[in-house]
Structure 1
Amino acid sequence: MPSRVLVTGASGTLGRRLALRLARPGMRLSLWARDLNALSFLAWQCRAAGAEVGVCALDLTDIDAALIALETQDAAEPFDIALLVAGRGDTLPPGALVEPPTQIVRLAQTNFVAPAAMAALLADRMAVRGRGRIALVGTAAASHSLPFAAGYAGSKAGLARFADALRLAVAGRGVSVTLVSPGFFADAAALSRPGEIAADMVAERMIAAVMAGKAELVVPRRFLLLRWFDRLLPRPLRDRILLSLRLP
């Protein structure tokens, strides 16, 4: 296992589980998140497991600051793996017909622009070094036109296409790019929705997929069937199903 790993969105459910799974003697973690208090506690947990930990409290909507911090850290001590987990899952506000423009901008910046720009910066630097692994966390929802989450699904769909294109751009340079497309997940004690899985399972499978250099991980795999179901249905029937999912 390479020893220098970046995890963005480290205070979130999946980012936290990834950091705790990776924490061990010899591992050097750079944990990024907006919530400094949550980040500091996670860093303490990872250090207790034997890892060396640095933290960066940063809002990724400040893209210029994020790119400067990333380039500075990578220049000082190159990253072997970057797990770009940070994202927002905002949906349609109660009573609204469509999402507010400000929400669309925020989702686009956090879910697409920031991770894509950070991945591009690292992919270029890793290609020069001839090694590196990048993971971009999307969502199974990116395959569906969700009327109650157009900004979320749309921004993640853009990220999915970018991840695939970036993977091809660095092919043969020793750099792998993995798109992770999870369905519903939560901490094991908080599982409540049908089909929801434990974040620990997503983290475990994600680490394995990244280390294997896979192009994409869909978890649980049944969401692959839903993706093909969406593509193969006649549009009028698909539209009727998607409209039935609109939040009350």
Structure 2
Amino acid sequence: MNGAQRSQTREPHVLVTGASGGLGAALARHHAALGHRLTLWGRNEERLNAVAGSCRALGAMVVTRIVDLENPTAAEHAYLEDDARDPVDIAIFNAGLSDIRAPDALTEDPERVRALGLVNYVTPSVLATVAAGKMLPRGGRIIMIGSVAAFHDLPFGTAYSGSKAGLARFSTALDLYTRPRSVPVLLVSPGFIDTPMSRRLSGARPFLVKPARAARLIVEASAQGKRHIVFPWPFHVLRIIDMLAPYRLRAALLGRVKVTQSP
């Protein structure tokens, strides 16, 4: 039975990682309002339960799970258990970490580099591979939440931009294989979203997008079968400029950017 046939017989089952706040919570509530069944993963039990409660208030059936995404093996087992309980139709790998080099440090913290690599790239790639393996015989959709940082060399955020770049390449490569087999993969590359993660950053956050609007754009793009979305639109222009600009100019501009963050 393919994905289209299954969707006619039951409402989709949507799994969202990083659902305890920010964009993940907005994605959960958006799907809840559509009547979808939800499995929500998060790190903070109190916040995750609060999001689950708001989704149940919208009429959704919700299951929650506390998962450590720095442990790819445990995350893989958790996904297999949730899929065995109720086959996942839409897998949204949203969880991520953000960090930058401290102003007084020579380099980024190696432990944070490790954590960002695991949470932003390794674990979602493992989970997407597991999800694809389960979905290919029956149909489904995968959504990978990346960042516009993937397209720029950020000297103050090498681990973040590097891990998101890896995720972006993995997502588009996986899509080339799975889309012809009825499992499209959508890569999402947002700019600044008004979440606790972005609020840690000092200075301006241009073209800030509210989580609810971001969730709507993502869900619509996935339903339309898009491969990649960048929003808001000025960041698409910046990506093109970065691709076309000479290296010396890019290096000079990015080298002058100063960013700090609160703890």
Cα distance, 1:158 vs structure 2:
0.2
Q: Specify the alignment match of 1:35 in structure 2.
A: 44
1:121 aligns with 2:130: yes
Q: Is the Cα–Cα contact under 8 Å of residues 25 and 50 in structure 1 kept in the other structure? A: no
For 1:247 and 1:174, locate their aligned partners in 2 and report how far apart those are by CA, in whole Å.
42
Secondary structure at 1:135 match in 2: strand
Within 5 A, what are the aligned runs for 1:68-83?
Answer: 68-83=77-92
2:155 is matched by which residue type in structure 1? P
Query: Where do 1:43-122 residues align within 5 Å?
Result: 43-122=52-131
Q: 2:177 aligns with which of 150, 166, 169?
A: 169
Equivalent residue, structure 1, for 2:229 = 217
Deviations 1:25-50 (A, max 9, x none): 74210000000000011111111110
Pairing of 1:232-243 with structure 2 (within 5 A): 232-243=244-255
1:147 aligns with 2:155: yes
Higher strand share: 1
> By how many angstroms is 1:4 displaced?
0.4
Which residue, out of 137, 141, 145, partners 2:145? 137
CA distance in 1, matches of 2:225, 2:129: 17
Aligned to 2:242: 230
In the superposition, the TM-score normalised over structure 1's length comes to 0.94
CA distance 1:164–1:48, change in 2 (3 Å): same
Between the two proteins, the alignment pairs up a number of residues equal to: 245
Taking structure 1 as reference, are residues 172 and 98 closer, same or farther at Cα in structure 2, changes over 3 Å only? same
Structure 1 unmatched ranges of 5 or more: none
Structure 2: distance between partners of 1:30 and 1:247: 35
Moved over 6 A (4+): none
Gapped regions of structure 2 (runs ≥ 5): 1-6
- Tell me the C-alpha RMSD between the 2 structures: 1.6
CA pair 25-133 structure 1, distance change in 2 beyond 3 A:
closer
The answer to whether the aligner puts 1:201 opposite 2:213 as a matched pair is yes
Is 2:186 aligned against 1:178?
A: yes
Q: In 2, distance between residues paired with 1:45 and 1:182?
A: 25
Distance apart, 1:69 and its partner CA: 0.8
Opposite residue 216 of structure 1, the aligned amino acid is H
Alpha-carbon offset, residue 12 of structure 1:
2.7
Matched, 1:11 2:20: yes
Q: What letter corresponds to residue 21 of structure 1 in structure 2?
A: H
Aligned partners of 2:150, 2:34: CA distance in 1, in Å?
37
TM-score normalised by the chain length of structure 2: 0.89
AA aligned to 1:33 is: G
1:198 Cα deviation after fit: 1.2
Do the aligned partners of 2:21 and 2:48 also contact (CA within 8 Å) in 1?
Answer: no
